[in-house]
Structure 1
Amino acid sequence: VSVERRLLCAGCLVLVLSCSLGAAGLPSPLAGKEAWDYVEVRPGAHMFWWLYYADSPSAQYQDLPLVMWLQGGPGGSGSGFGNFEEIGPLNRDLEPRKTSWVQAASVLFVDNPVGTGFSYAEQPDGFATNVSTVASDMLVLLKHFFTQIPEFQSKPFYIFSESYGGKMAAAISLELSKAIAKGSVKCNFAGVALGDSWISPLDSVMTWGPYLYTTSLLDNNGLADVNSAAENVKRAVEQQQFLKATELWSVTETVVEQNTNGVNFYNILTQQPDEKPTDVLFLSASALQARRHIRPLHKQSLNELMNGPIRKKLAIIPQNVTWGGQAEDVFSSMAGDFMRPVVDIVDQLLTAGVNVTVYNGQLDLIVDTMGQELWVKQLKWEGLPGFSQLRWSPLDDPASPGTTGAFFKTYRNFAFYWILKAGHMIPSDQGAMALQMLKMIMQQD
């Protein structure tokens, strides 16, 4: 089956309009369209994006919103993990996903920051070192995207995120709002959703001990050990020693693992795969961090898919670029910015009238819900008292009618969703509930 391709401008934008992946010999996820391209956001810094046009049985893509998905890490790939493990039209085995977000919106995956996934830096100084650079890079990409595909300029545009992607999403949303006001970017920005997001790192770390204790994963001695390690992180943050705080954060994780026999930071009901708590004693801090938070996003089977059939399908990946090949460089480059909070940015977004949603998984440890609750209570937004007075409402789990799948409450332009039986990667753990949440958020605005 042939694949129709159209070149736009001087780029390598490809629209796939048939039911085939062409030379790759794989089934297409859509009877509709896909698009992908590179954007050089700074000299020698290239970012990759991949768009799936909405494929809804009840509406045309022209009548549905656009959602951009940002992965965590930093160094996790939206085009890979978010796409094939969470919300894309096909799963890692290239089978149709029943809970794909493409049935409700067009979905744009961006490998962000530079060096993530298929994105790449030509030189070591091309990696971002803070969220300010991440945001400015994304603004270049979004300006290019909405200029090259102007039909999306009027569609409601949402930014959804996960983990460290939420920290980046907050910064990007603020800069995007400013750019729209100035007229430098043309789009209909409708809101940002922060999923299990690293908004206030210290609040997360300081609640690890209490959360694990209340779920019977620490005894009194373990609680004392974890709290003591967390206090060291707190002192470093208070002294503005953020690189040291990142190193001590890694130490605290080791203390958690040793006292819980290797609990999984992404879901407390499981253990770290193929790892014994004693193994980490022989690794450097940077190697530990990559092992815990980069490796899970680059599973061998996913790596083989992305660097095999998918790479062949895309046909624009430079020969010297490997999917995920610079992920650890991305993570280490951001180490000095990692423990900095962005609660003030969320405050600015709410005050500016931007729709902000927080959603969190019940079983997540690294960004536990207790920590999320703490930073929300720190907001200076004038609507916080009204939000706090509300009682939450239960939501049925679409996959199990009659069973509560989540709680939520919303006040003015702020909403919070508590997703039950889900860890850090909510769409992966509770796909039907995540899809329902997406639809509710888009209907509220």
Structure 2
Amino acid sequence: MRKFPRGSVLLIVNSTTSSSIFYTFYEAQSLEASLDRDPSQTLLLVWLRGSLGCSSLFGNFMEIGPWHDNLHGGHDDHDQQVHFVLESNPEFSAIFSSTTQLVPNLASHLYLANTTYIELDTELLRSHPLYITCESQADKYSTARNHLNLLFLLLLLLFFFQRRVATSSSLPLFPREAHPTRSGYLPVNSTSGSAIFYAFYEAQNLTTDISKVPLLFWLQGGPGCSSMLGNFYELGPWRVNFHKHPSDPLALEPNSASWNRIFGVTFLDNPIGTGFSIAANSAEIPRDQGAVAKHLFAAITKFIELDPSFKTRPIYITGESYAGKYIPAIGYYILEKNAGLPAGSKAVNLQGVAIGDGLTDPIIQVNTHAVNAFYSGLINEKQRRELEKLQLVAVGLTTARNWSAATDARNKVLNTLQQMTGLATLYDYTKNADYKTSLVDELLRNEAVKAALGAKGAAPFERCSNLVGDVLNEDVMKSVKYMVEYLLKKTKVLLYQGQYDLRDGVVSSEAWMKTMRWEGIGKFMAADRKVWKVEGEVGGYVQKWGSLSHVMVSGAGHLLPADQPVRAQAMIEDWVLNKGLFANSLEASPDRDPSQTLLLSTARNHLNLLFLLLLLLSFFQRRVATASSPPLFPKEAHPTKSGYLPVNSTSGSAIFYAFYEAQNLTTDISKVPLLFWLQGGPGCSSMLGNFYELGPWLVNFHKHPSDPLALEPNSASWNRIFGVTFLDNPIGSGFSIAANSAEIPRDQGAVAKHLFAAITKFIELDPSFKTRPIYITGESYAGKYIPAIGYYILQKNAGLPAGSKAVNLQGVAIGDGLTDPIIQVNTHAVNAFHSGLINEKQRRELEKLQMVAVGLTAARKWSAATDARNKVLNTLQQMTGLATLYDYTKNAGYKTSLVDELLRNEAVKAALGAKGVAPFERCSNLVGDILHEDVMKSVKYMVEYLLKKTKVLLYQGQYDLRDGVVSSEAWMKTMRWEGIGKFMAADRKVWKVEGEVGGYVQKWGSLSHVMVSGAGHLLPADQPVRAQAMIEDWVLDKGLFANEVGREGLGVSQISKPTN
């Protein structure tokens, strides 16, 4: 019997610090003695020692190992097991003694150690059935920690089975289930041998006689890109695993949202020379859409001859991008050919065409990029003008029929836009990384996959052919709009786009659609645009009249079926079958059942195991959350100071505050900045900012609805290196006290007076507060409070002797603020229109309502003007059907009610020092009603004054439809400030945080403007790290505020967790 382990080594879990886990491994004794046993059937046992800081060698030599200390009676272990012993690093004892939130570090070490061991002996660990045992002592672990141990073990199991799925020899790269029904070549020139490659997938579920099952043909764009991109990345029955981790192997995964669920789908590599298609010589590659159509017609008619049922089946031509030209061309060609046949005869039974994010009328579409990007918050006024000049060059060259030069000019427009925005891709402005379409190349360069597809040729597969692109260079700017106009008279047409596509998206497409010379265009433009729901969420919008349907798909970019597979499938099925939204219903077709899509393959059996493990994981996680759970408001979450700051010592009216000192002092305490945060509303509590956005502890708003409410530490808190005070303003808001309603402010003058009283009282609480630089910050309706208190402070300071200050104000920061309502209310229609959320008709309706609000404001009819603004916003909400106007990308509103739940807990109120018996209200209706007449009054003049005396930051989230970047930029440029001209002429820089585009900054003098990418109205909640980076660098005049593109110094690794 072997005394020494087969393996014992340090497994590195942190290559930087060399932290490691020691292990000892013993092979099964019977396996070593017998050569006829299958090693893959031998159990693999992992032993973890439970006590804090205790070595697993205790278990090895004192309990279950093959050799025991001779002072103890031992027992032989089961000879059918393998022992793999992980040694605890001494640092684990300290980790377990620390706070609960650090416990997952152990899981991560175990995960890494297991990975490392897999790499050491791949055959051993991947093939053995895995069992994990542990020993835990009740006097060392609480019930919750025992459950956490089980959670860690399940994570380890999950990882193991995931790796088995990814590497098992039973899963070839191209499983038999992924093979097409038919594939091969359709000749377009029988003499030369030029041919179009095809891959056909029959409908998985027959809902009618086979002779009536629709046949879809899919064409890719480019020009010169292979339809295998659509097949294996977007809408085919099996797709590459593009959501995988970079270190995971390439694999195919079944696609339950495949377009061949109930239709047959054929992917055509078009034109010849593209993908697997064959061009006998470059001279045969089409140079215009006439030649493209001729080849496609030859291929489609050859395909129809392959099966008798194909002759009667209805045919639809579909595709995306540059196929916005191919599809009208082949559709037009088919209808022309059919027209020349005897009555009742058809060469091809064409029933419709569908174009996704298509380039169809380039002379109009190229002229939309600047306005689209501007109203998406991606470029500023200066950049818009620069881009529009380049667009006009492209338009002029197109008009002059200088085709090659026009194509180059269009490319210059797109390249310039790419440089201006710094985006990962113009095909989806929300993405932090480009589409992973190179995985399709990797798949199709595999010889076994090529053989399975019946593809010919020795050259490596190219997703997009440069040669084809070059040959069609002069075709790019030529319009095929007249072909679409013809098609609309003979068959149905679907035009659909993804919301986030900056190249050929909804703004680009709607621009040319409305210029069509089609007798139905007037009625189409007057038709209602309906909210379309899929699985209970807004899936997009549909406008339909006669033979034309237009769909904007929410949450998608250019490769729409990859971004929103379920919505894309619902759309194409309902359009083909004239159901759901295409039958004037708001819901997707009710009989769609993705579960019918594919028979279970070997991969799916493994996925079932993963699902069961996830179910177990969820169960134990719930037990952890409910067993011996920590208090709702842990001691570490208590503010440094909290209480009341009187604004009227006679009546007792007072503003509630909660102050959190800086967690990390980077300078003397007397110099550490103090931030005051004000919430909006009017009448909303700053506890929303505290516990939902930027405080050191936040409610767990990402939790599952059935999980209990809890507070979680926020590593992106604004009090990382600054002190932060949250003020419930005005009195009557949150925990603040209004002795009577008459004392609640009715205008910004009264608001400022109260805030000044509160801030000066706060400064008296600590000697260091008198010298510390002060910044007033906040969001939303605080876009009025902040200028008001800033103006008031500066006016008060000006009346003091030279060198004296009542408040050491150094700057103000306004996030997504309502500041100049008469201008801001006039931006909602244009903003929503260029975001693809409303159509031309709805825009005009909304603009009429906006003008009413503007007129009433100009007439100083304040209450009626406020009502008119509310009507604008309510109408926009109804038109779009959005979950919230505060972020048009969300499928559900912000879960701010969790703050109410937290602060209605009496123990939490007591810990905060809050008074009153009434339940906490996140937003006070009484305060809102009292300030009703204040809403439409402007405080822009106060901002103008502030800019002369101190620095100002205006920042907005990209997706806010109420007070976002479009709304704010509109009033900013109208300011009467001597620096506004130079500010408007200043460069707008790409700002990166952690290697990603965090947004854009424009700065001159005392004014800084930031658009934060990926955020809505509650910006610090949506993008916490970016918000923290922004406020820290602005206060400290660093990074982007020092005219540098990147953020200086404060990498994410330097952002500390809250101190205990």
TM-score by length of 2: 0.36
Indicate which of 308, 313, 318 corresponds to 1:150.
Answer: 308
| 2:182 alignment partner, SS class | strand
Deviation, 1:326, is 7.1
CA RMSD after TM alignment: 2.3
Partner of 1:425: 559
Partner of 1:397: 534
Deviation, 1:221, is 1.6
Alignment of 1:311 with 2:432, yes or no, is no
CA distance in 2, matches of 1:365, 1:25: 34
Indicate which of 205, 212, 219 corresponds to 2:373.
Answer: 212
**More deviation in 232-241 or 307-316?**
307-316
Change (3 A) 1:37 1:245: same
Partner of 1:48: 197
Alignment of 1:90 with 2:238, yes or no, is yes
Partner of 2:500: 363
Deviation, 1:185, is 5.8
Residue 439 of structure 1 aligns to which amino acid in structure 2?
E
| 2:533 alignment partner, SS class | strand
Pairwise mapping of residues 46-445 of structure 1 onto structure 2 (< 5 A)?
46-56=195-205, 58=207, 61-78=210-227, 80-92=228-240, 93-183=251-341, 186-262=347-423, 264-270=425-431, 273=434, 299=438, 301-308=439-446, 309-318=448-457, 320-324=458-462, 327-351=465-489, 353-398=490-535, 401=536, 403-444=537-578
CA contact under 8 A between 1:143 and 1:185: conserved in structure 2?
no
CA contact under 8 A between 2:440 and 2:463: conserved in structure 1?
no
CA distance in 2, matches of 1:442, 1:271: 34
CA contact under 8 A between 1:55 and 1:102: conserved in structure 2?
yes
Deviation, 1:315, is 3.7
Deviation, 1:143, is 1.4
| 1:235 alignment partner, SS class | helix
CA distance in 2, matches of 1:33, 1:264: 31
CA distance in 1, matches of 2:487, 2:308: 25
CA contact under 8 A between 1:61 and 1:106: conserved in structure 2?
no
Deviation, 1:366, is 0.8
| 1:41 alignment partner, SS class | strand
Partner of 1:15: none
| 1:55 alignment partner, SS class | coil
Deviation, 1:59, is 5.3
Residue 515 of structure 2 aligns to which amino acid in structure 1?
Q
Partner of 2:607: none
Deviation, 1:122, is 2.3
CA distance in 2, matches of 1:127, 1:326: 14
Change (3 A) 1:102 1:325: closer
| 1:121 alignment partner, SS class | coil
| 2:319 alignment partner, SS class | strand
Change (3 A) 1:25 1:216: closer
| 1:408 alignment partner, SS class | strand
Deviation, 1:298, is 5.3
**More deviation in 32-41 or 124-133?**
32-41
CA distance in 2, matches of 1:431, 1:96: 12
Change (3 A) 1:99 1:326: closer
Q: Deviations over 1:145-192 (max 9, x none)?
A: 112223111111111110001210000001011222334963321100
CA distance in 2, matches of 1:201, 1:234: 9
Deviation, 1:63, is 4.4
CA distance in 2, matches of 1:136, 1:70: 15
Change (3 A) 1:348 1:63: closer
Deviation, 1:372, is 1.0
Residue 34 of structure 1 aligns to which amino acid in structure 2?
T
CA contact under 8 A between 2:276 and 2:455: conserved in structure 1?
no
Change (3 A) 1:297 1:129: farther
CA distance in 1, matches of 2:574, 2:469: 33
| 1:324 alignment partner, SS class | coil
Deviation, 1:264, is 1.5
CA distance in 1, matches of 2:454, 2:230: 21
CA contact under 8 A between 1:115 and 1:327: conserved in structure 2?
yes
| 1:122 alignment partner, SS class | coil
Deviation, 1:259, is 1.2
| 2:239 alignment partner, SS class | coil
**More deviation in 110-119 or 37-46?**
37-46
CA contact under 8 A between 1:115 and 1:326: conserved in structure 2?
no
| 2:430 alignment partner, SS class | strand
Residue 265 of structure 1 aligns to which amino acid in structure 2?
L
Which runs of 5 or more structure 2 residues have no equivalent in the other structure? 1-171, 241-250, 580-1060
CA distance in 1, matches of 2:455, 2:474: 33
CA contact under 8 A between 1:70 and 1:166: conserved in structure 2?
no
Residue 188 of structure 2 aligns to which amino acid in structure 1?
V
Deviation, 1:44, is 4.2
CA contact under 8 A between 1:29 and 1:89: conserved in structure 2?
no
| 1:29 alignment partner, SS class | helix
Q: Deviations over 1:363-408 (max 9, x none)?
A: 001113112112111111111111111111111133xx2x211111
CA contact under 8 A between 2:173 and 2:252: conserved in structure 1?
no
Change (3 A) 1:40 1:57: closer
CA distance in 2, matches of 1:314, 1:435: 24
CA distance in 2, matches of 1:25, 1:170: 36
CA contact under 8 A between 2:183 and 2:454: conserved in structure 1?
no
CA distance in 1, matches of 2:262, 2:382: 48
| 2:394 alignment partner, SS class | helix
CA contact under 8 A between 1:54 and 1:60: conserved in structure 2?
no
Deviation, 1:435, is 0.5
Change (3 A) 1:219 1:355: same
Q: Deviations over 1:39-64 (max 9, x none)?
A: 22133422111110110175565442
- Pairs aligned (count): 394
Q: Deviations over 1:49-102 (max 9, x none)?
A: 111011017556544211001111011111x21001011010113111010111
| 1:229 alignment partner, SS class | helix
Change (3 A) 1:343 1:25: closer
CA contact under 8 A between 1:35 and 1:52: conserved in structure 2?
yes
CA contact under 8 A between 2:174 and 2:449: conserved in structure 1?
no
Which runs of 5 or more structure 1 residues have no equivalent in the other structure? 1-23, 274-295
CA contact under 8 A between 2:236 and 2:259: conserved in structure 1?
yes
